[in-house]
Structure 1
């Protein structure tokens, strides 16, 4: 999630032990002629599948056994927590050059995200939610803007049922792109925006959350949630308030509750 440059050496990820019945599988896909590796973590009967789009370069280093070379990112290190709450989680690696900086706003990468959503839906048969953090929020918003709104019926549609943006990059930094470079007005699904008032990263100021919400003018609903806290670290690093270090349970709970509310609303 290193939104504004390097923030120390990443930690290797030993792949947290899954709960009973939770499966983890690596898939090597071909998207737009490029090799795309993903890891899918799924409980036996998931309620939804979350396509997690990390920040920074996006290069998490998925190994064939499902462990990761770089496991600091909030969306990566909490995958077992989401699975324990009944959600499948799909994490993609960075394809091609291994660096997604400056590419996430492009139509081509929006179509990559849409292809990832289609794969996730086909594998699980469940509604697909795009979840992006920091620079990954640009990718999530771009993918949602390019995908028709999905029907949350449990059918294999490959469409997007909702969008979650956490600590979204909203000020231009080294990557020269922000969440506003996605076509936010074209998003046609419910959106949750999370902002940590203690996030000191200069490219993701929490005060921008209402402005991001206002730009999502075509979304049927936009919810803004503010959190506070987190253990100190490098301002734009994953292991800091920018990456919810120390308040992961609270944030995972907020995201899970919002998704469950969307699923319940669709069933009425």
Structure 2
């Protein structure tokens, strides 16, 4: 096992250290809104340069799952993003999102502008996903979503999960067939057992074969996602040939709880720089895959 450290210059808000371990129906969105947008946060407004739609993705087990899909004209890849909390973003068939504070939801157009298509699934029937993300049943649901995205012909597919959503991303990656996903990104992962009764370690991280990026904010004070666990999460990915741990710092607090979306746990105030660092890893991973 070879471990290489890469130190980047500290910016005004954020410092990063990278450690590399080698080892349907499509409906146009009419408008977006959120009744949980905090003061000072811009509501979701349709960008005329981005094609954003509501997708109803059929499931092999029956029924469908609703998702929001936004894409630039020529995406270089697609990122399937899994929100934290209970997983319910309150996506209506008309495209309105009732719970838009989560990191992956509020930043989705920033990813689009960097050339990535983004798909964010809601929960089936707006149910609570706590305790279910590491299950075999949810892994099958993710497999159905991955297959659906591949049919959209929008480039290689990555999984990205934040907080509780990181459990879903690990589970999906652990069960993905070889070549189905290009990589997985875990941000502020739940690694300490809490009320949900599951962590990223419950989702068989040792079975993940794709490249992995683990991102942790040194200033995260969420009790179930301690930043010092980032290396332990990376070390658990024994089946992956490439694991990168990216440490960041910064952010401000507007949520009442330390695990809230509008805190350092949700990269509030440092979103642009975190997206830049993750994008650099995504682009490098895509380049490396293209050379094989």
Does the alignment reach a TM-score above 0.5?
A: yes
Query: How far is 1:149 from its partner?
Result: 2.7
Q: Secondary structure at the match of 1:124?
A: coil
- 8 Å contact kept, 2:159–2:184: yes
Counterparts of 1:172 and 1:189 in 2: how far apart (Å)?
A: 25
Corresponding residue to 2:239 among 218, 221, 231? 218
Structure-2 residue corresponding to 1:146 = 175
Counterparts of 1:94 and 1:124 in 2: how far apart (Å)?
A: 24
* Post-superposition CA distance 1:42-87 (Å, at most 9, x none): 0000000000000111000112232311000000100000000000
Q: Secondary structure at the match of 1:258?
A: helix
Is 2:153 aligned against 1:121?
Answer: no
Q: Secondary structure at the match of 1:38?
A: strand
Structure-2 residue corresponding to 1:154 = none
TM-score by length of 2: 0.83
- 8 Å contact kept, 1:35–1:96: no
Structure-2 residue corresponding to 1:264 = 287
TM-score by length of 1: 0.90
Structure-2 residue corresponding to 1:6 = none
Q: Which runs of 5+ in 2 are unaligned?
A: 1-34
- 8 Å contact kept, 1:19–1:84: no
Query: How far is 1:16 from its partner?
Result: 3.0
Corresponding residue to 1:177 among 198, 212, 216? 198
Query: How far is 1:112 from its partner?
Result: 0.8
How do residues 47-62 of structure 1 correspond to structure 2 at under 5 angstroms?
47-62=76-91
Structure 1 runs, 4 residues or longer, greater than 3 Å off: none
Is 2:67 aligned against 1:28?
Answer: no
Aligned residues: 251
Q: Over aligned residues, Cα RMSD in angstroms?
A: 1.5
**Highest Rg: 1 or 2?**
2
Query: How far is 1:102 from its partner?
Result: 0.4
Structure-2 residue corresponding to 1:244 = 267
1:97–1:68 CA distance, 2 compared to 1 (3 A): closer
* Post-superposition CA distance 1:193-249 (Å, at most 9, x none): 000000000000000000001100010100000111111242000000000000000
* Post-superposition CA distance 1:92-137 (Å, at most 9, x none): 0011461101000100101111111111121134100000000000
How do residues 78-89 of structure 1 correspond to structure 2 at under 5 angstroms?
78-89=107-118
Counterparts of 1:34 and 1:48 in 2: how far apart (Å)?
A: 27
